[in-house]
Structure 1
Amino acid sequence: MPGMIVDCATYRDGHRVEGPEDFSDALEAVRAAGDGFLWIGLHDPSVEELDLVAAEFDLHPLAVEDALTAAHQRPKLEVYPDSVFAVVKTLAYERPDVPVVTGEVLMFVGDAFVITVRHGAISPLGTLRKDLEGRPEILALGPAAVLYGVCDRVVDDYVDLVTTVQGDLDELEAEVFAPGRTRGVAERIYSFKRQAVAFRRAVAPLQEPAARLVRGGLPFVPEDLQAYLRDVLDHLTRVNEQIDALDRLLTDILAANLAQVSVQQNNDMRKISAWAALAAVPTMIAGIYGMNFEHMPELRQPWGYPAAVGLMALACAVLYRSFKRAGWL
């Protein structure tokens, strides 16, 4: 058995049963019995390893090519003659200043098999197999039950992720409107905007494949799964709406921050202008008396100097009081 296979198991009536260790023999046994299915889990397989599996299960070469170039795939659902191929994105979020970590899970669903291919360090499948094995009524619906389980787990992770982001965004909003807390906030807002773009790229394209699954009529996807798939689509729709709301809120917060910065700059300019005016008046008076004209008002009077200084002080006091009332100082 190739080393890239994380797990290979046979299921009948929703329960895991003993079967051949070699997946070729296991698939042959399942098809010969006419019931049950084989679930193979792969993690970052090489070209040779995936080609080996593809040849055994007669997977479509275009789907195999997509599974090998997973980093460039969008969430999608494609139907081939012998299988249904689906791609979902996994996400991991730590904090706004750390880029979102993305991964992918690709699934091949056939008549008696399901193959999950995981790329990246993020694994929503760590406990999924065990959880599904605890729900035999779901696994009894066939290979598409695994497709439902993966989509349900990934979308539930989206819900938790958006909730976490909302909490961090509430903290940012409080910081933006805190007095005197405008420095460095714009950078954090843009970091959040980048996160929102990453979320949208992973979540929004999944809406159409999920709706297509709900509409039914796809091979290897039984009608009994429709109620479960509708639940996934409902959660996914809610997540998309929350992401849109987060994006709009980020835009509003950024606009509010820019308005605060503009107001602060206007206040600073008013203060600078007021102090410049206070300095200009005594400078003007001193400049006039410093031009050394012979005939200057009160130039030769003993109280001329105190009068000039007093005039400067009075002018400054009047200006200061006026600026203070106007809110410039």
Structure 2
Amino acid sequence: MQGFVSLPDDPVLRAVSPGEAVRYARDLPEGGLAWVHLVEPTAEDLLPVARALSLPPLAVEDALHAHQRAKRERYGDDMVFYVLRTLRYTEATSAIDTGELMIFSNPCWVVTVQHGPSDAPDAARAALERKPELLEHGAYGLLYALADAVVDTYGHIVGLVGEDIEELELRVFTPERVDLTKEIYSLKREVLEFRGAVRPLVPVAHAFMSPAPQRYPEALAPYFRDVADHVLRVASAVAGCDELTDSMLDAHSTQAGMWQNEDMRKISAWAAIIAAPTMIAGIYGMNFAHMPELHWAYGYPAALGLMASISGLLYRAFRRNGWL
């Protein structure tokens, strides 16, 4: 658990104890900021903060149990509860690890609850250090910094996923026969997980971009619109990645069908080539008393030559038709 405060006449984010941050949250005038950040909290960690700041019980329950979809809910006139899905890309395995960042936002304080891996809180603190003017808007400046950090991660990851798709596409359309079904399904699963994190944020992004009056200061309107624009662009890019993986899977399935047909043609061609001499040998193996050329000195070589000639002609015909 961590605590930070910023006073109206001193817009610098300073680390304090969580208890001090909660006390500041109850007494700060507008323009100040108190921030309490909890990582994987238990009920014993979160409930005292919830009681001190009168957090909505349903939202607190969501924050404790996690596994929520991205959303935005308003409680009363001055409290908003956000759930943002956080992502982390593991380059070695091309896996996307998901987490959640719950944000309780009031004009003078913010309580964040983190589940799973996320660099967003640290990135938001760094952004506030680079742009201390954001702290002049209190909790709204922190809310923007957190949302921007989460969405910037989306933009970075969608680029890496696009590179994975391009690399896998090249492997799909190489002449070598390689079964890539497992790799395509694995990438498809990661893309779907990514889409599940971004898609629910689209309505929130549209709300940020709408001309209706917003609850945040007018000076921050361009910042929130920028975040919304990034969400919409990433959502569009992820939808494109989803369609590409579907097309890639269809193309690979078609390739696999073509490989099977090619193998069946080869098997059928060799079976036909072998069937001709087998039929001739079978006839002479019937041991009838009266057989053509049975007592002819050149009968045996002639039969072998006939078998070889028929097999050669069949092989040539199949080669011409592309079966061999």
What range is the shorter-chain TM-score in? Answer: over 0.9
What letter is aligned with 2:296? Q
Q: CA deviation at 1:18?
A: 6.9
Q: Secondary structure at the match of 1:281?
A: helix
What are the superposed Cα offsets for residues 218-251 of structure 1, whole Å, 9 maximum, x if unpaired?
54x2232221111111111111111111111111
The aligned length equals 320
Q: CA deviation at 1:121?
A: 2.8
What letter is aligned with 1:9? V
What letter is aligned with 1:172? L
CA distance in 2, matches of 1:283, 1:24: 92
What letter is aligned with 1:177? F
Is the aligned partner of 1:238 residue 2:205? no
Q: CA deviation at 1:48?
A: 2.2
CA distance in 2, matches of 1:280, 1:41: 78
Q: Secondary structure at the match of 1:126?
A: helix
| TM-score of the superposed pair, with normalisation by structure 2 | 0.92
Q: Secondary structure at the match of 1:100?
A: strand
Go from structure 1 to structure 2 and tell me whether the alpha carbon gap of 1:18 and 1:310 turns closer, same or farther (over 3 Å shift). Answer: closer
Go from structure 1 to structure 2 and tell me whether the alpha carbon gap of 1:315 and 1:52 turns closer, same or farther (over 3 Å shift). Answer: same
277-286 or 96-105, which moves further after superposition?
96-105
- Where do residues 13-162 of structure 1 align in structure 2 (5 Å cutoff)? 15-16=11-12, 22-31=20-29, 34-70=30-66, 72-81=67-76, 82-95=78-91, 99-162=95-158
Q: CA deviation at 1:312?
A: 0.9
Q: CA deviation at 1:130?
A: 2.7
Q: Secondary structure at the match of 1:116?
A: strand
CA distance in 2, matches of 1:18, 1:303: 107
Is the aligned partner of 1:272 residue 2:282? no
Mind listing any 5+ residue stretches in structure 1 that lack a counterpart? none
What are the superposed Cα offsets for residues 124-181 of structure 1, whole Å, 9 maximum, x if unpaired?
1123213213212222122112111111111110010011111111111111111123
Q: Secondary structure at the match of 1:295?
A: coil
58-67 or 160-169, which moves further after superposition?
58-67
Q: CA deviation at 1:40?
A: 2.1
Q: CA deviation at 1:67?
A: 1.2
CA distance in 2, matches of 1:187, 1:67: 35
Q: CA deviation at 1:20?
A: 7.9
Q: Secondary structure at the match of 1:114?
A: strand
- Where do residues 186-225 of structure 1 align in structure 2 (5 Å cutoff)? 186-215=181-210, 216-219=212-215, 221-225=216-220
What is the percentage of aligned positions where both structures have the same residue?
A: 44
CA distance in 1, matches of 2:51, 2:126: 28
Query: Would the aligned equivalents of 2:74 and 2:81 in 1 still touch at CA under 8 Å?
Result: yes
| Aligned structure 1 segments of 4 or more residues deviating by more than 6 angstroms | 17-20
CA distance in 2, matches of 1:35, 1:172: 51
Query: Would the aligned equivalents of 1:196 and 1:246 in 2 still touch at CA under 8 Å?
Result: yes
297-306 or 151-160, which moves further after superposition?
297-306
State the superposition RMSD in angstroms: 2.1
What letter is aligned with 1:48? E
Partner residue in 2 for 1:228: 223
Query: Would the aligned equivalents of 2:12 and 2:132 in 1 still touch at CA under 8 Å?
Result: no
Q: Secondary structure at the match of 2:72?
A: strand
